[in-house]
Amino acid sequence: MSVLSPVAKAALRHPVGRVRGDGITATVFGSTGFLGRYVCAHLGLNGNGYVVPYRGDETEVSHLRVSADLGNVAQQPFHPRDRDSIFEAVEGSDIVINLIGKHYQTKHILPWWINYTYDDVHVDVARTIAEVAKEAGVPRMVHVSSLLAQPNSPSEWAASKFRGEVAVRKAFPDANIVRPSNMFGPEDRLLVWIGNRLNYGGVPVVDNGDAVIQPVFVNDVAKAIYHITQDETIQGKTFEFVGDEEFTYKELADYVFDITKRNPRLVNLPLPVAQAIGYFCEQFPDPKFTRDWATRLSLNEVKTSDLPGLRELDVEPTPLEKEAPNFLLKFNPGGHFQEVSGFTAGQSEAILQVMKDAMADSLEAQSRILATKSEHVELKAELSERVFNSTLKFDIAQRHSRELLERDFNTLKQDIRMLEKIDFDKIRMEIAELEKKFLLQKQAEDETLNELRLSMEKVEKRMLQYAVGFAGTIMAV
């Protein structure tokens, strides 16, 4: 579930661009680091201003000026142990973002003289920034820690990260803590670190590379931090940012080998051996490997809590396979042009045989097509002939039908002329006379029948009288 307020979500859906007058002002400590340049890019892209505190030469942060509109970037020199310079950097800002971190303990000219320990960078500097930000009246703060931050971690680096969280939370209770897992990107210490080892003939992994991590894309982390800066309602929360996929370090090394088309030896280093190599590398000013780094390579780095993550800030995690090839291609000897080995004699003969079979099949198919085409021509001629004959028969039948219709029409015309010559009045008079004669004849017949009936009645009466007389004579006798 998203933790962004409706107002912040609406603003993020409709960015106004680089030029605007109502953006926030953020002070970004550690802006020259791996994550810092991406955070500044998101801030500047959407019209916000930011202050980039720097040490040393200002040209080291000059590349960040182009990420925002003209006049929206201020460069401020500071020293981590000078509270006044930190105050000048945070004064007037709407939010302070602390990205300062170190993967090794920096040393002085003398190897045994440590200039900045893990606690100096992750605890003391973080505490000072939080305290000064609170004193300067800065309303909000974001502190970036690590997913490995644990109080009893075998890694001193991870344990110092946890102590830094506690110090920041104590000095600035409403600060938001961000715990990203190991980040990947064009300048990372994960995939690019493996790529840089390819030319050494072997890539080391600690304890068979069985430790599991959930790497997260650096730009996703920067985008999520930017979303936090745009929502004033997010206060005092802790976030854990991870990707969706889990990998072992060995799987990541194999993935780099596959992308770069290189196949160096994977060197398994037990943890004590890796720490011994790390101790040797620590004697140089900019060590590429340390004892604590070896310890971290043996630790699982996966999310196990229910703390909010990227999706709660409306950021969809980017798959590693989508972005990694873009910056790993530089380790491929052929660059964009992949190196392909030739075929053996047996493979060549097999390919040639396949081509011959394909050619034979093609010729056979062409012959079938030609035969089908010939049949099509014959069928077309037959159909044309049938159509012609049918048309001829239809014309003959149509002509015969027309002649019959003309003859019937002429006969009908003659009948009409004959009917026109008949005197219907005379016929009606003759019919009337016949009706009259019929009525007279019927009347005469009726009179004859009446006379006959009367005669019959008289005969019957006489016969009755005769019978009675005859019966009386018989009785007398």
Q: How many domains does the chain have?
A: 1
Report the pLDDT value the prediction gives residue 438, as an integer from 0 to 100. 80
8-state DSSP, 338? -
Q: Is residue 400 part of a domain?
A: no
Q: Is residue 258 part of a domain?
A: no
CA 247, CA 257: separation in Å to the nearest integer? 15
Whether the per-residue pLDDT at 41 is higher than 80: the answer is yes
Report if pTM > 0.85.
no
Report the pLDDT value the prediction gives residue 444, as an integer from 0 to 100. 81
Report the pLDDT value the prediction gives residue 374, as an integer from 0 to 100. 81
Q: Which contiguous run of DSSP H or E holds residue 27?
A: strand 25-29
Average pLDDT of the segment spanning 206-221: 95
Residue with more model confidence, 392 or 195: 195
pLDDT per position as a tens digit, 416-463: 888 777 777 777 888 888 888 888 888 887 888 888 888 787 777 777
Whether the per-residue pLDDT at 12 is higher than 60: the answer is no
Helix, strand and coil in the chain, % to nearest 5: 55, 10, 30
CA 232, CA 229: separation in Å to the nearest integer? 7
Q: What is the CATH number of the domain that holds 27?
A: 3.40.50.720
Q: Is residue 44 part of a domain?
A: yes
Q: Out of 204-208, 222-226, 253-257, 349-353, give the one with best mean pLDDT.
A: 222-226
* Structural domain containing residue 57: 6-185+208-247+301-318
Report the pLDDT value the prediction gives residue 111, as an integer from 0 to 100. 59
Range with the poorest average pLDDT among 7-16, 115-124, 166-175: 7-16
Report the pLDDT value the prediction gives residue 14, as an integer from 0 to 100. 45
Long-range CB contacts (within 8 A, 24+) of 187-192:
187/34, 188/34, 188/218, 189/34, 189/103, 190/215, 190/252, 191/252, 191/255, 191/256, 191/324, 191/327, 191/328, 192/327, 192/328
Q: Is residue 146 part of a domain?
A: yes
Q: Is residue 422 part of a domain?
A: no
pLDDT per position as a tens digit, 100-114: 999 988 875 565 567
Backbone angles phi, psi at 391, to 5 degrees: -65, -40
Q: Is residue 27 part of a domain?
A: yes
Contact yes or no for 125/102 (Cβ under 8 A): no
Whether the per-residue pLDDT at 203 is higher than 50: the answer is yes
Whether the per-residue pLDDT at 6 is higher than 80: the answer is no
Q: Is residue 83 part of a domain?
A: yes
Q: What is the mean pLDDT of the chain?
A: 86
pLDDT per position as a tens digit, 316-375: 999 999 999 999 988 887 766 655 555 667 777 888 888 888 888 888 888 888 888 888
Report the pLDDT value the prediction gives residue 399, as an integer from 0 to 100. 84
Q: Is residue 36 part of a domain?
A: yes
